[in-house]
Amino acid sequence: MQSDASMNVETKRWLESLNDRQREAVLAGAGPVLVVAGPGTGKTKTLTVRLAYLLAERHVAPEALLAMTFTTRAAREMRERLERLIGSQADRVFLGTFHSFCFQLLKAEGHRLDLPPDFGVADRRDQITIMQRALRRLGQPDTRTATQRKLHEVIAFRNRQANIEPPVDDTGLAEIAEAYQRQLRKCDLLDFDELLFLGVRLLEGFADVRESLRQRYAHVLVDEYQDVDPVQQQLLGFLAGDRSRLWVVGDGDQAIYAFRGVESEHVLGFEQHFPNGRVITLDQSYRFTPQIAAAASQVIRQNALRRPLTLNTANASGVPVHVVSFPDEQAEAAWIVRQIEERVGGTSHYQQYKGKVTDTVSRREQSFRDVAVLCRLHALTKPLQEALRNSGIPHRVVGEARFFDKSIVKDVLAYLRVMHNPHDDSSFAHVLNRPPRGIGGQTQAALEAEAEQHGLSLYDALRRSVVLSSSQMRAVKSMITLLEEAQRKTEEKSLSQFIAYVADVTGLRQWRIDQDPRHENDLLLLRSIAAKYDEVNTATALEQFLEEATLAVEVDDYDASIDAVSLMTIHAAKGLEFSEVMLCGVEEGSLPRENADLEEERRLFYVALTRAKERVWLLHCRSRFLFGGRHDREPSRFLQEFDDSLKDTTVMPDRPRRSKPEAEQLSLLG
C-alpha cells in the first residue's frame, strides 16, 4: 500500500473524504477484491475514487481501465463523478454497460464471426416483427400475443443453452430460434442478448483477441456485481485472466433478478472461487435514518443465504416506519394523494374533486421529485394514476414504457436506422407507410413475401416489385429518393439539426402533431438527447446515438431533475433514493408473490425499504381489485419481521355500507 507521504494533495483530499472501510477498498492491492456494499454506503463514490487513485497514484493509463455496470444511467453518473475528480482523462476510460462493451467489441472484431460491419441492434419492436415473420415462415400462429410468448420462450431457451447447462431437448423451440436468427441476420441485426453471447463466443474462439484485451486492460472493475449472470461471468473470466486485476462491488442482499437467470452464488462463494481473494465490507450507510436501517437489517436477517451485514448509520434519529391498512385500493389512492398534497403542497384539485377542500396544503416540506410510490407490479398503481391525474399532481410512471418507444420517437429512429443501413427490413417496414403512402397491410405482406422469394431486402425488392400499383410505386420511389437525398445531408448538419430535418422532410412531424400536439415535446426531447453528439461528425454521431437508443433500458428514462412524483416498480427503483417512499401492496400474494422464492421476495422488500432517506410508508389493503377480480388480502408476513418499536401502525376504517331498503319501502313501488 502506498504511503500518505508520497501522495499528491488531491489524492489525499479524496481519501480523507472516505471512511476507513472505503479507503481500504480504494487502496487495495492486487485482486481479486470483492467490496460488499450495503445500500447507501457509498459504493459509487468508492468505485470512482478507486479509478481516480489508479490514474493519479498508480499511474495506470486511462485506456487500461475497464469499468462496467448495468444501466446507461449508472455509467453516466460514474463518468460525471470521475470527470469532477480527474477532468478530461475520464473520457479515455471505458465506463459503460456490459452490452455497450460487447457492441463495441463486435463492431471491431465481429467480422471473425461473419457479422456485417454495419450491423444494428434490434429493439423490442424489431424483435416482435422479426419473430412474427419467423413464425409465419414456419406456419405457426403469429398473433401479437403468440409472438410475444414465443419470443420470451426463445430468449429463455437461448439463455439456458448459453449458461453452460445440460443441453435442452426441445426441437420445436430450437427450430423457431433458428428461424428467428435467420430473419435477424437477413436484416443485418443482432438482438440485445446476442451482444453478450457473441462477445463471449468471440473471446472464447479467438485467443489473439482475448490476449489483446487482457494486455489492454490492467484493471477490470464491476459495479452491482450481484447482478452478473453466467454469460457475463464468462465474459469477465476472459477479460480478467487470472482475476488478479478484478475489483468488484456488490451486495447479495440486493440480488433481485433471479427471473433473468441471475443468482448471487458468485457473491456468497467469492472466497471459494478465489482462495486468494479479499473481501471488504461497507456497512456504514449515509442514506437513511436509524429506524429505517434497523427495520431493513432485521427483515433481511431472516434470509439464510446471505453474507452477514448489519447496516449502521450516524444520521439523526427519524420517525418510525409507518404501516397503514386500508379497506381497498381506492382508499389507498385517496390517502396517498392527500399525503402528497399536505407534505408537498399543490392546488388541492383532488380534494375539490372529492368535495373535501382543506387549507392544509401549503406546507411544502418537499418537492414532488422527493416522493416515490413503489410497487411489486405496475398493475397495482392504476387506481393511483387516476387519482393523481384528477389531483393535478405532476407524476410520471418510470419503466412502464421507454421514452424511445414513444410513437414519433420510434418513427424518427426507424428512418435514421434505414439511412444508416437500408437493408434493415424491420425499420424499413416501419417507415414504409408512415406517413401513409397508400400501402396497406396486405400489400406490405405481399412485398415481404416477394423479397423473401428472391432473397432480397425490402429496400432492394421495392425497386423491382410487381405487387405495387403505379401510384404506390411512385410513392415508394419518392420515399427512396427522399431517403437518399437526406443521407447526403448528414455532413451539412449537426445530429440534432439532422433529426429535425428528417422529421420535417418526411412529413412525420406534421402527421404526428396533427394526431396529438404532445408529439412536438417528444421530438424536442429527442433532439435535446441527440445534442450531446453535435460536436461529432454526423455519420459517426448517428451510429453512436442509435447505439444509445437501442441499448437503453427502461430505468434509464428516469430523470431526477423532473419535479414529479415517481411511480415505479421496486426493480426499476434499484439504485435510486428518495426522501419519502410509499410502498403499495405489502400483502400476501403481492409481496411476497404466491409460489415465488421467499428469500428473493424478502430482498425485494429490503430494496424498497432502503430507497427511503427520511420516511417510508408500508401500505396494504384488506380488499383489492386485481387482474379482473376482487380479493380479500392479508398483510405481508414481512411486516412482522421487524420490531414494533420501529413502526407506527394505522388502520383506516372500512367504508360505511349502504343499508338495504326495508321491505315495506320497496312495496311502495308495487
Q: What is the rounded distance in angstroms from the CA atom of residue 293 to the CA atom of residue 669? A: 63
Are 564 and 373 in contact, with CB atoms under 8 Å apart?
Answer: no
Residue 167 DSSP symbol:
P
Q: What is the rounded distance in angstroms from the CA atom of residue 633 to the CA atom of residue 621? A: 6
> Which helix (H) or strand (E) segment is 222 a member of?
strand 219-222
In CATH, the architecture of 9-106+198-286 is: 3-Layer(aba) Sandwich (3.40)
What distance lies between CA 417 and its chain's CA centroid? 22
Q: Cis peptide leading into 435, omega within 30 of 0? A: yes
DSSP bridge pairs for 68: 96, 222
Q: What is the rounded distance in angstroms from the CA atom of residue 177 to the CA atom of residue 172? A: 9
44 among known catalytic residues: yes
Candidate list 23, 24, 41, 43, residue with the active-site label: 43
User: Averaged over 2-9, what is the pLDDT?
Assistant: 62
User: Averaged over 50-56, what is the pLDDT?
Assistant: 94
Q: Does residue 516 have a pLDDT over 80?
A: yes
pLDDT in tens, 641-650: 999 999 999 9
Which among 203, 299, 148 is positioned nearest to 609, based on CA atoms? Answer: 299
CB contact set of 604 (below 8 Å; sequence gap of 6+) = 256, 376, 570, 571, 591
pLDDT in tens, 531-549: 888 887 888 888 888 877 8
Alpha-carbon Rg for the chain in angstroms: 28
Q: What is the rounded distance in angstroms from the CA atom of residue 370 to the CA atom of residue 577? A: 9
Q: What is the rounded distance in angstroms from the CA atom of residue 649 to the CA atom of residue 323? A: 5
User: Averaged over 300-321, what is the pLDDT?
Assistant: 92
142 among known catalytic residues: no
Instruction: Determine the number of helices (DSSP H) and then strands (DSSP E) in the chain.
Output: 29, 17
Residue 585 DSSP symbol:
-
In this prediction, residue 282 carries a pLDDT of 96
Q: What is the rounded distance in angstroms from the CA atom of residue 560 to the CA atom of residue 35? A: 27
In this prediction, residue 655 carries a pLDDT of 77
Q: Does residue 646 or residue 140 have the better pLDDT?
A: 646
Long-range contacts of 78-83 (CB under 8 A, 24+ apart): 78/44, 78/47, 78/48, 78/223, 81/44, 81/45, 81/48, 82/48, 82/51, 82/52
Q: What is the rounded distance in angstroms from the CA atom of residue 626 to the CA atom of residue 583? A: 17
Percent of the chain whose predicted confidence (pLDDT) is above 90: 43
Q: Does residue 554 have a pLDDT over 60?
A: no
In this prediction, residue 549 carries a pLDDT of 81
The CATH code of the domain at 318-399+560-651 is: 3.40.50.300
In this prediction, residue 537 carries a pLDDT of 82
Candidate list 23, 410, 611, 613, residue with the active-site label: 611
Are 221 and 43 in contact, with CB atoms under 8 Å apart?
Answer: no
Are 413 and 549 in contact, with CB atoms under 8 Å apart?
Answer: yes
CB contact set of 186 (below 8 Å; sequence gap of 6+) = 425, 457
Ranking 24-33, 157-166, 278-287, 588-597 by mean pLDDT, the lowest is: 157-166
pLDDT in tens, 255-274: 888 765 556 778 888 888 88
User: Averaged over 277-305, what is the pLDDT?
Assistant: 95
pTM confidence score: 0.80
Percent of the chain whose predicted confidence (pLDDT) is above 70: 90
Q: Does residue 569 have a pLDDT over 70?
A: yes
First to last CA, the chain: 96
Q: Does residue 314 or residue 347 have the better pLDDT?
A: 314
pLDDT in tens, 144-182: 888 988 988 888 787 766 654 445 556 678 889 999 988
Candidate list 57, 191, 194, 224, residue with the active-site label: 224
Ranking 206-220, 229-243, 383-397, 464-478 by mean pLDDT, the lowest is: 464-478
Ranking 8-17, 285-294, 468-477 by mean pLDDT, the lowest is: 468-477
pLDDT in tens, 325-336: 999 999 999 999
In this prediction, residue 6 carries a pLDDT of 57
Candidate list 123, 223, 332, 370, residue with the active-site label: 223
CB contact set of 498 (below 8 Å; sequence gap of 6+) = 489, 490, 538, 542
Are 90 and 79 in contact, with CB atoms under 8 Å apart?
Answer: yes
254 among known catalytic residues: yes
In this prediction, residue 164 carries a pLDDT of 47
CB contact set of 557 (below 8 Å; sequence gap of 6+) = 398, 399, 402, 403
- The chain-wide mean pLDDT, for the chain, equals 85
Establish whether domains 9-106+198-286 and 318-399+560-651 are of one fold: yes
Q: Does residue 58 have a pLDDT over 50?
A: yes
Residue 71 DSSP symbol:
-
Q: Does residue 200 or residue 479 have the better pLDDT?
A: 200
Q: Does residue 385 have a pLDDT over 80?
A: yes
DSSP-based helix, strand, coil % in the chain, nearest 5: 55, 15, 30
Domain assignments of the chain as residue spans, ordered by start: 9-106+198-286, 120-187, 318-399+560-651, 403-553
What distance lies between CA 397 and its chain's CA centroid? 13
Q: Does residue 666 have a pLDDT over 70?
A: no
In this structure, whether the domain defined by 403-553 belongs to CATH 1.20.1340.10 is answered with no
pLDDT in tens, 350-371: 344 344 434 333 344 578 999 9
In this prediction, residue 401 carries a pLDDT of 60
Highest mean pLDDT among 313-327, 334-348, 367-381, 529-543: 313-327
